[in-house]
Structure 1
Amino acid sequence: MQRSELQQYLQEFLQVDKFRDYAPNGLQVEGKSEINRIVTGVTACQPLIDAAIACQADAILVHHGFFWKSEPQVLVGMKRRRIKSLLVNDINLFGYHLPLDAHPQVGNNITLAVQLGLQEAAPVSSLPQELLWRGYLPHSMSPELFTEWIAAKLGRKPLHLPAPRKDIRTVAWCTGGAQDYIDQAYELGVDAFISGEVSERTFHSAAEQGIHYYAAGHHATELYGIQALGAHLAQQFGLEHTFIDIANPV
């Protein structure tokens, strides 16, 4: 398919215009106009780009792309090497951040819910951009058992910040670096909140508000959305799709 066709489809499918984000969503580096083979991955790091080159990919789709508001604007060092690799090999780079977190079909939050077996998963409608989600465990679990449950499902043991409540049934979550949603999660009255990362202040929020917090890994909580998006495009357009996981313990 043509690059412009894929770009337009993703713009509409992921409802990109709904979001105010920290980086551009869509085509970030232009490559060849005809796309038949795509590679997906969480972050546009050099090992992912190298693997895509080895796969002879026409395009890479990632959750964490380039040109973040907080990063230097000059093309030097690591950033230059990454972009040079894409340009020399004529590979398109597409990045989708918040639109991929929130999407109800292939988004990071819904696919994490499926991976963890959370039921009645839905975004909290009172918050903007539908980034905080809520659902239920199939049955109540002790905090310790829920730690092991997450570890088994994600292949990574989470950091658990405990609270006085005993059992866990209701859960809120937002993938990635969304630990500061813990205060909104508390307002929902849930037993536990899951995100990817943790800050010093998160410990105090969990302890003083009586809500269990699980830092399950930024990378580990965002593995599934980009895979689902790639599978969707392969099915929709007959593209060849390969997901490449560049392991990250964070």
Structure 2
Amino acid sequence: MLRSEFEKILNQTLSPSLFKDYAPNGLQVEGKNEIKRVVTGVTACQALIDAAIEYQADAIFVHHGYFWKGEAPQITGMKYRRVSALIKNDINLYGYHLPLDAHPMLGNNAGLANALGVYERQPLQPSLPIEQSIGIVGELASALSMDDFQALVEKAVSRSVLFERAGPKLIKRVALCTGGAQGYIDQAIAADADVFITGEVSEQTIHLAREMGIHFIAAGHHATERFGAQAVAKFLRDEHALEAEFIDIDSPA
């Protein structure tokens, strides 16, 4: 598959033009023109690049790529080592941030919602269609105790979570937004959710949860954002006959 066709497929699928993002979505570092083998991952760190080189990948697809707003533009030090490794090995780098969070089938939020059994999904940002909303609110098939719900979340993300138990005894209405989205707890409260799940926590988030009577779970930025890259690897294999492998470079954050 040609590089231009590969990017066309990604753009048609993930619709980056719908989002005002913090980094460029799409091709970030150009490599070889023909793409047969793809590595997907959460973050374009050196360890993922090294794994892609070993895999003999032609392209890397990530959620967290490069060239974020506000970062220094110089390609020196760590950034130089990463970019030079891509260029020397002729590997294309593709990054999709908010489009990969929001996609209703391949997205991080959709993947976490699937793992938890959250149905009747609505946008957490009610002014937006669900395919553009940064976050989901929906219902469990049946209410769960706090202990059972924590076990469900920890199974979904394969790690222990921070669970501030500040809401009702039974949990049925779930709001979630993967990654560093603790600030969206206000939208979860407005949506009358019993619990809000995200990746990270800030000090003030706990007080807000306690005073507003909503459970809060910080399940890990990396852990909650594996879903999209995993789904894209499967999509590329199943729908476009590419060799595609998700490689998890774990992070406790």
Question: What TM-score do the two structures reach when normalised by structure 1?
Answer: 0.97
Task: Tell me the CA shift for residue 157 of structure 1.
Answer: 1.3
Q: Secondary structure at the match of 2:24?
A: coil
Aligned with 1:197 (options 183, 187, 200): 200
1:221 counterpart = 2:228: no
- How far apart are residue 189 of structure 1 and its match? 0.7
| Preserved CA contact (<8 Å) 1:219 1:248 | yes
Aligned letter for 1:230? A
Matched, 1:48 2:42: no
Judge conservation of contact 2:32–2:58 (CA < 8 Å) in 1.
Answer: yes
Aligned partners of 1:238, 1:164: CA distance in 2, in Å? 46
Q: Distance in 2 between matches of 1:19 and 1:37?
A: 28
Question: SS where residue 141 of structure 1 aligns?
Answer: strand
Of residues 55-64 and 220-229 in structure 1, the stretch that sits farther from structure 2 once superposed is: 220-229
Any unmatched runs of 5+ in structure 2?
A: none
TM-align CA RMSD: 1.2
2:60 aligns to what SS in structure 1?
strand
Q: Does 1:207 align with 2:214?
A: no
* Residues in 1 aligned to 2:127 and 2:72: alpha-carbon distance in whole angstroms: 31
Query: 1-side partners of 2:250 and 2:160: how far apart?
Result: 15
CA contact (8 A) 2:31 2:91 kept: yes
Residue 68 of structure 1: aligned partner:
68
Corresponding position of 1:29:
29
Distance 2:34 2:169 in 1: 56
> How much identity, in percent, do the aligned residues show?
54
Give, in whole Å, the separation in 2 of the partners of 1:185 and 1:126.
Answer: 11
Summarize deviations over 1:87-128 as a string: whole Å, max 9, x none.
000000000000000011101111111112222234236244
> What's the secondary structure of 1:94's corresponding residue?
strand
Amino acid in structure 1 at the alignment position of 2:31: G
Contact 1:110 1:121 in 2 (8 A): no
Aligned twin of 1:159: 162
In the alignment, structure 1 segments of 5+ residues that lack a partner are: none
Aligned residue number for residue 119 of structure 2? 119
Whether the 8 Å contact between 2:124 and 2:188 is mirrored in structure 1 is: no
CA distance in 1, matches of 2:11, 2:144: 40
Indicate the residue corresponding to 2:59 in structure 1: 59
Instruction: Give the alignment partner of residue 147 of structure 1, picking from 146, 150, 156.
Output: 150
Distance 1:184 1:164 in 2: 15
